[in-house]
Amino acid sequence: MELDRVLLVADDGKVKVGRPIVRGAKVIATSLGERKGKKVIVFKYKPKARYRRKRGHRQIYTRLAIREISC
């Protein structure tokens, strides 16, 4: 996977900050698979109306291993 919208590059004390991105910078990454995040509980209710809804949600995240950063 190649990521070309890089916001900041730091190398041996030299820092390049993009406005909004660093031109010519690339990050080469490999996908390690997908994982689920922590569960978020969504609870809705209306007082005095016997209305209650409880739902859970787990966001799916893709884990990346960074192989190379070039600018």
* DSSP single-letter state for residue 52: E
Give the residue from 69, 7, 58, 57 showing the smallest Cα distance to 34. 58
| Residue in the structure block whose two tokens are 């690339």 | 26
pLDDT at 52: 96
Which sequence spans correspond to the domains of the chain? 2-70
Amino acid found at 10: A
pLDDT digits (tens, 9 = 90+) for 3-37: 989 999 988 888 989 889 898 899 999 999 999 99
pLDDT at 70: 85
Show the tokens assigned to 10. Answer: 């730091």
* DSSP single-letter state for residue 20: S
> Structure pTM?
0.63
pLDDT digits (tens, 9 = 90+) for 29-59: 999 999 999 999 999 999 999 999 999 999 9
